[in-house]
C-alpha cells in the first residue's frame, strides 16, 4: 500500500494512548481512534455484565470514546476477540500446561496489535498503526532497516515486548511517546486535555486475568486435568506433594505450601513426570540458556557470536552476554549467572540503546 | 457534508411536536389526567381492555425484564421453566442469568434460518412446567414479524404467562392484542420519535402489579411526550407505511442489483423498515467505518452502547457461521429517510465496494 498520513491509534482510554493520539493529531496526521475489544472469559464477562448492567458497556470503551471526542478524532470500537482468544489466550493456557511461564503481551503485540489491527488499518485506508508504547522507531540508512531504540523515559521502557516485530510490521508503526523524556511529561499533556481517563495501574498484570488469579483462570478455561505431583530436589529426592504444575513458575519461593528449613526455589518443572524441582538460591541461577523462535531487528540472522546485553524477563536487569548461533535458535552465555531463567519467557537482546531482538527461552533445544 | 441516518431501529430523533408538548409539561405541575389519557391511547392502539394496566419506567429494557420480576415478587409466578426465543433483544436474552438466579430454568426457543421463531420447536419444548414465555413481535435486526398469534392462542387456556416485546412494532404495524393475547407487552418511547429514558409496560387487568421500586415519581414530561409521539405516528401510519415500504424495496433491490455480493438475510418481507444485508467476503466493522466516513450512519446488529461489533447472536441463532455473521450490516429507515438518501446509499456502496 502507498504511504499516506492516516493512522489508526489503539485507544485504551488511558493516559498513554490518549497523549499518543493527541500528539499525532498535532503533528498533522489523519488520526482515527480505535478501541480493541478483546476476549475475556465468561466468568468475568458475566461479572462485568451484572456490575455494569449493559450488554457491552465496558468502561474502557466509554473512556476511549470520551477522550477521542475531546481530541476531536473519530472513534470506533472493533472486535478482536477471535484472534485474541486463539493467539494469546490459548497460547497462554497451553504454555502453563507445558510447564512454561508464558508472556501473553508479546503474543498480543505480534499477532493482535501489529498484525490483526494493522490489517484492519489497511482496510480503512491507513498506512500506519500507532500505540502508546515508550519506544522509538528509526530508519537506519546504513543498515537500510528500521530499528527500535529505547525511550528516554528509561523507567517506562517497553521495548522488551517488541522484539518480535518484523521489518514489514515496523514500517507501518508509529510510537509517538518514544520522544518524551519522562512519563511526567506525558501526564502533564494529559492533564491539559482536561478529560477523565481510565486509571489503570502501570503494573504488568495480565489484562484477561484482572483478578490476578491465573490458576483459577486456567482451571475455568481448560478441560485438561492437572494432577498433583511431587516436589523433588535436584538429586531426585522427594520433598513433598505439590498442587499441580500450573501452580508454579521458575524462581518462585512463596506459596509452595510447605517449609524446608532453608529458602527453596522452584528451579525446574517437568511436565512429563509432573515433578516440580526445588533448589537453593544458587541453583536458581543459570549461566546460559537456549532460546528459539528468535527474531532480530538490525539484521536477519545471526551468523557468528555476538556480544550484547540481555534481559531474561521484563523486570530483569540487562546483563552482559554472548549469543552463539545454533540450529533453530541461539545459545546465550552470560558473564554472570542470571536468576530464574524461565522456560516460556522471552529473552531480549540489546546493544547500547538499541533493541537487537529476542527469543523464547526453552528448557532444551 | 449532510449526514444520512439509517439506524432508526437503534433510536430515532425526537420530533418537534413532541419537544413542544414536553416543554409545556415541564412548565406545569399537575397532569395526572393527561397521563391517564396517554395510557388510554396506548391501550386503544393495541386493542387492549380498558381495565388493562400501563406502567412507566426507565427504558424498554427495564420493561422487558420487570414484568417477570414483578410477578415473582408478588408470588403470581410459580417456579418452573421460562422459554425465551433465541432471537430476542439482549435485554431479554441476557436476563437468563438473572432469571436463573431467581430460581427459574431458562430454555431458548430456536429460530429458523429466516429469523422466525420455530413454532414446532416451541410446541415440543412446552410442557406444564413452563410458567413464562417471551417472544418479540418484530425482530430488531431482521425486521421479521414473529408468529405471536399462534403462540398466544396456544397459551390462551394455560397458566403460562405470555410476554411480547413490541418495541420495534409500535407505531409501525397494527398491534391487536385481541389476536395476540399477550399478558404483558413492552414498548419504548425513543423508537417512535419520543424521548429516551422511557419504557412502557402493558399488563392485562387480571395481573397484579407490584412495583419493583415503590413510590417512584412519574416522569410526566416524558410520558406526555411519548403520548404525542404515539398520537403522531399512529395518525400518520397508514400514509407512512407504503412510503417506507417503497424506500425499503428501492434500497434492497438497488443494493442487490449492484451485483457486488450483497444479499438480504432472513425474512425481509415484513412491513417494518429494517433489513440486514450480508456483504460477501467483507467485514462489517470496516464497512461501517467506511460508510461513516462517507456520512452514512448504520449499525451491525443490535447496537450496544460501546458500538463494538461482535457476531450477532441473532444471526448465529439463525444458523449463520461466525464469519458470515460478521459480514452483515443492518439498515433501518424511518420518518426522515428520502428517496435521494437511498440513492446516495446506493452510489456510496458502489464506490466503496468497487475499490
Residue A59 has what pLDDT?
62
Contacts of B91 in chain A (CB under 8 A): 55
Looking at residue A194, the DSSP 8-state letter turns out to be T
Residues of B with CB under 8 A from a CB of A: 90-91, 94, 97, 283, 285-286, 288-290, 292-293, 302, 304-310, 322, 326
Provide the grid cell at B189.
Answer: 418511547
In this prediction, residues B240-267 reach a mean pLDDT of: 97
Strands (E), chain A: 6-10, 30-37, 75-79, 128-130, 135-140, 145-150, 173-174, 229-233, 238-242, 265-270, 275-279, 285-296, 306-311, 319-326, 329-339, 346-351, 354-362
Pairing label, strands A128-130, A329-339: unpaired
pTM: 0.82
Q: Is the pLDDT of residue B111 over 70?
A: yes
User: For residue B316, with 0-12 CB atoms within 10 Å meaning exposed, 13-18 middle and 19 or more buried, which class applies?
Assistant: middle
Helices A59-71 and A15-26: crossing angle, nearest 10°?
20
Residue B355 has what pLDDT?
66
Contact B304 A37 (CB under 8 A): no
For residue B196, is it left (φ>0), alpha (ψ between -120 and 50) or beta? beta
Radius of gyration of chain A (CA): 22
Contact B309 A81 (CB under 8 A): no
* pLDDT mean across residues, chain B: 94
Looking at residue B58, the DSSP 8-state letter turns out to be S
Residue B216 has what pLDDT?
84
In this prediction, residues B319-328 reach a mean pLDDT of: 93
Interface check for A314 against chain B (CB to CB < 8 A): the answer is no
Question: Residue B268 CB: number of other CB atoms within 10 A?
Answer: 19
Interface check for A77 against chain B (CB to CB < 8 A): the answer is yes
* Regions of chain A with pLDDT less than 50: 51-57, 203, 365
Q: How far is the C-alpha of B302 from the C-alpha of B314, rounded, in Å?
A: 9
- Name which of A32, A43, A52, A79 to mutate to probe chain B: the one with the most chain B Cβ atoms within 10 A of its Cβ: A79
Alpha-carbon B102 to chain mean position: 25
Say which residue the cell 415519581 belongs to.
B217
Phi, psi (deg, nearest 5) at residue B130: -80, 120
Instruction: Enumerate the H helices of chain B as residue ranges.
Output: 16-26, 32-45, 60-73, 90-93, 96-101, 119-125, 148-155, 177-180, 220-257, 284-293, 313-317, 322-325, 339-354
Which stretch of A201-205, B65-69, B345-349 has the lowest confidence by average pLDDT? A201-205
The size of chain B, in residues, is: 355
Residue B199 has what pLDDT?
98
> What is the DSSP secondary-structure string of B230-274?
HHHHHHHHHHHHHHHHHHHHHHHHHHHHT-SSEEE-S---SSSSE
Q: How far is the C-alpha of A75 from the C-alpha of B77, rounded, in Å?
A: 45
Mind telling me the catalytic residues of A? 108, 207
Residue A40 has what pLDDT?
79
Interface check for A78 against chain B (CB to CB < 8 A): the answer is yes
Amino acid at each position: 500500500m502507498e504511504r499516506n498520513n492516516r493512522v489508526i491509534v489503539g485507544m485504551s482510554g488511558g493516559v498513554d494512548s490518549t497523549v499518543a493520539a493527541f500528539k499525532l493529531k498535532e503533528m498533522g496526521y489523519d488520526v482515527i481512534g480505535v478501541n480493541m475489544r478483546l476476549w475475556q472469559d465468561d466468568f468475568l464477562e458475566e461479572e462485568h455484565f451484572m456490575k455494569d448492567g449493559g450488554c457491552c458497556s465496558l468502561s474502557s470503551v466509554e473512556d476511549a470514546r470520551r477522550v477521542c471526542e475531546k481530541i476531536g478524532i473519530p472513534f470506533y470500537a472493533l472486535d478482536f476477540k477471535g484472534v485474541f482468544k486463539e493467539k494469546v489466550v490459548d497460547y497462554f493456557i497451553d504454555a502453563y500446561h507445558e510447564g512454561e511461564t508464558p508472556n501473553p503481551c508479546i503474543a498480543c503485540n505480534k499477532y493482535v496489535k501489529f498484525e490483526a489491527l494493522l490489517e484492519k488499518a489497511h482496510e480503512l485506508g491507513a498506512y500506519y498503526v500507532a500505540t502508546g508504547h515508550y519506544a522509538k522507531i528509526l530508519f537506519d540508512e546504513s543498515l537500510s532497516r528500521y530499528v527500535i531504540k529505547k525511550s528516554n523515559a528509561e523507567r517506562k521502557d517497553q521495548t522488551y515486548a517488541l522484539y518480535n516485530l518484523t521489518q514489514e510490521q515496523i514500517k507501518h508503526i508509529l510510537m509517538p511517546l518514544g520522544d518524551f523524556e519522562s512519563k511526567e511529561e506525558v501526564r502533564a499533556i494529559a492533564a491539559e486535555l482536561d478529560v477523565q481517563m481510565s486509571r489503570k495501574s502501570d503494573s504488568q498484570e495480565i489484562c484477561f486475568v484482572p483478578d490476578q488469579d491465573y490458576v483459577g483462570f486456567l482451571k475455568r478455561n481448560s478441560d485438561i486435568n492437572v494432577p498433583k505431583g511431587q516436589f523433588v530436589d535436584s538429586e531426585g529426592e522427594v520433598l513433598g506433594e505439590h498442587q499441580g504444575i500450573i501452580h508454579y513458575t521458575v524462581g518462585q519461593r512463596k506459596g509452595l505450601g510447605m517449609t524446608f528449613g532453608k529458602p527453596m526455589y522452584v528451579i525446574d518443572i517437568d511436565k512429563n513426570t509432573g515433578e516440580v524441582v526445588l533448589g537453593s538460591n544458587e541453583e536458581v541461577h543459570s549461566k546460559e540458556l537456549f532460546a528459539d523462535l528468535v527474531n532480530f531487528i538490525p539484521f536477519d540472522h545471526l551468523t557468528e557470536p555476538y556480544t550484547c546485553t540481555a534481559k531474561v524477563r521484563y523486570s530483569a536487569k540487562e546483563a552482559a552476554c554472548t549469543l552463539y548461533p545454533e540450529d533453530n535458535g541461539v545459545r546465550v552465555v552470560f558473564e554472570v549467572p542470571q536468576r530464574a531463567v524461565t522456560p516460556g519467557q522471552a529473552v531480549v537482546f540489546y546493544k547500547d540503546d538499541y533493541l537487537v531482538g529476542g527469543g523464547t527461552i526453552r528448557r532444551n533445544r | 457534508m449532510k449526514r444520512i441516518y439509517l439506524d432508526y431501529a437503534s433510536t430515532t430523533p425526537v420530533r418537534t411536536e413532541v419537544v413542544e408538548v414536553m416543554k409545556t409539561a415541564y412548565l406545569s405541575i399537575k397532569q395526572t389526567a393527561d397521563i391517564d389519557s396517554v395510557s388510554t391511547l396506548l391501550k386503544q392502539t393495541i386493542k387492549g381492555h380498558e381495565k388493562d394496566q400501563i406502567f412507566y419506567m426507565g427504558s424498554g429494557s427495564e420493561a422487558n425484564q420487570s414484568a417477570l420480576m414483578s410477578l415473582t415478587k408478588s408470588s403470581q409466578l410459580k417456579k418452573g421453566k421460562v422459554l425465551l426465543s433465541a432471537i430476542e433483544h439482549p435485554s431479554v436474552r441476557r436476563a437468563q442469568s438473572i432469571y436463573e438466579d431467581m430460581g427459574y430454568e431458562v430454555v431458548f426457543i430456536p429460530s429458523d434460518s429466516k429469523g422466525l421463531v420455530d413454532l414446532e420447536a416451541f410446541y415440543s419444548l412446552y410442557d406444564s412446567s413452563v410458567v413464562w414465555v417471551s417472544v418479540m413481535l418484530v425482530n430488531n435486526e431482521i425486521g421479521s414479524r414473529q408468529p405471536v398469534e399462534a403462540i398466544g392462542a396456544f397459551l390462551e387456556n394455560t397458566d403460562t404467562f405470555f410476554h411480547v416485546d413490541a418495541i420495534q412494532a409500535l407505531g409501525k404495524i397494527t398491534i391487536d392484542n385481541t389476536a395476540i393475547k399477550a399478558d404483558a407487552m413492552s414498548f419504548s418511547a425513543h423508537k417512535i420519535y419520543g424521548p429516551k429514558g422511557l419504557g412502557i409496560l402493558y399488563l392485562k387487568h387480571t395481573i397484579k402489579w407490584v412495583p419493583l421500586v415503590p413510590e417512584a415519581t412519574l416522569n410526566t414530561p416524558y410520558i406526555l411526550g411519548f403520548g404525542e409521539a404515539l398520537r403522531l405516528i399512529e395518525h400518520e401510519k397508514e400514509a407512512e407505511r407504503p412510503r417506507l415500504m417503497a424506500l425499503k424495496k428501492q434500497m434492497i433491490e438497488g443494493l442487490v442489483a449492484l451485483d457486488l455480493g450483497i444479499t438480504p438475510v432472513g425474512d425481509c418481507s415484513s412491513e417494518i423498515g429494517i433489513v440486514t444485508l450480508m456483504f460477501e467476503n467483507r467485514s462489517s466493522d470496516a464497512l461501517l467505518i467506511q460508510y461513516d466516513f462517507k456520512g452514512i450512519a448504520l449499525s451491525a446488529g443490535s447496537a450496544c452502547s460501546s458500538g463494538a461489533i461482535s457476531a450477532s447472536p441473532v444471526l448465529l441463532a439463525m444458523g449463520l457461521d461466525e464469519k458470515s455473521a460478521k459480514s452483515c450490516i443492518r439498515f433501518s429507515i424511518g420518518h426522515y429517510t428520502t428517496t435521494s438518501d437511498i440513492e446516495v446509499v446506493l452510489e456510496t456502496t458502489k464506490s466503496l465496494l468497487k475499490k
